[in-house]
Structure 1
Amino acid sequence: MEQIDFVLLRGLAREAGHWGNFVDRVESQDFCQSAYALDLPGMGRFHKISSPLSVGEMAEFIMAEIEQLPRNPRAPLVLLSVSLGSMVAIELAHRYPQKFSKIILMNVSVASLSPIHHRLMLSAWKSMVKIMAQKSPRAREQAVLQMVSNNAEAQGRVLSQWEEIAKKRSPKPANVLRQLIAAAAFRLPKQRPLCPMVIFASESDRMVDVRCSKKLAQHWQIPIHTHPSAGHELALDAPEWVIEKVAESLSL
Structure 2
Amino acid sequence: MVPIVLVRGLLRESGHWQDTVNAIQQASPEITVITPNVPGNGELYYQTSPSSIEKMLAPVIEQLPRGCERYHLVAISMGSMLASHWAHTLPGQVASLTLINPSFSRYSPFWQRINLKALLSIGASSLKGSDAFQQSIIEWTSPISLHNSEVIEHHLNLARNHPVTARNATRQLYAAARFKGQSTPPAIPTQIIVSERDQLVDCRCGEAIAKAWKVEIKRFDCDAHDLPLAKPHALCDHLLHWFANVELSTDYT
- Indicate the residue corresponding to 2:170 in structure 1: 177
Q: Is the 8 A contact 1:63 1:92 kept in 2?
A: no
The change in CA–CA distance for 1:229 and 1:56 in structure 2 (over 3 A counts) is same
Deviations 1:76-130 (A, max 9, x none): 4101110001100000001000001101110000011111111111222222223
Q: 1:30 corresponds to which letter in structure 2?
A: S
In the aligned structure 2, how far is the partner of 1:25 from the partner of 1:225?
19
Residue from 146, 150, 164 that aligns with 1:157: 150
Deviation at 1:153, TM superposition (A): 6.2
- Indicate the residue corresponding to 1:103 in structure 2: 97
How many residue pairs get aligned? The number is 245
Deviation at 1:64, TM superposition (A): 2.2
In the aligned structure 1, how far is the partner of 2:88 from the partner of 2:148?
35
- Percent same amino acid at aligned positions? 27
Deviations 1:211-250 (A, max 9, x none): 1000000010111111112401101111121112112322
Residue from 61, 64, 72 that aligns with 1:63: 61
- Indicate the residue corresponding to 1:83 in structure 2: 77
- Indicate the residue corresponding to 2:20 in structure 1: 22
Deviation at 1:190, TM superposition (A): 3.7
Deviations 1:30-58 (A, max 9, x none): 38520011111111111111100111111
Secondary structure in 2 matching 1:92: helix
In the aligned structure 2, how far is the partner of 1:15 from the partner of 1:197?
23
1:128-147 to 2 correspondence within 5 Å? 128-135=122-129, 137-147=130-140
Deviation at 1:4, TM superposition (A): 2.1
Secondary structure in 2 matching 1:101: strand
The change in CA–CA distance for 1:212 and 1:155 in structure 2 (over 3 A counts) is farther
Deviation at 1:138, TM superposition (A): 2.3
* Residue segments in structure 2 that go unaligned for 5+ positions in a row: 247-253
Residue from 204, 208, 213 that aligns with 2:197: 204
Q: Is the 8 A contact 1:54 1:182 kept in 2?
A: yes
In the aligned structure 1, how far is the partner of 2:240 from the partner of 2:218?
13
* Residue segments in structure 1 that go unaligned for 5+ positions in a row: none
Deviation at 1:11, TM superposition (A): 0.7
Deviation at 1:71, TM superposition (A): 4.7
- Indicate the residue corresponding to 1:40 in structure 2: 38
Report the TM-score, using the length of structure 2 for normalisation: 0.91
Q: 2:50 corresponds to which letter in structure 1?
A: P
1:169-248 to 2 correspondence within 5 Å? 169-248=162-241
Deviation at 1:26, TM superposition (A): 1.5
In the aligned structure 1, how far is the partner of 2:61 from the partner of 2:81?
14
Q: Is the 8 A contact 2:14 2:35 kept in 1?
A: yes
Deviation at 1:70, TM superposition (A): 4.7
- Indicate the residue corresponding to 2:250 in structure 1: none
Deviation at 1:157, TM superposition (A): 2.8
In angstroms, what is the RMSD of aligned CA positions? Answer: 1.7
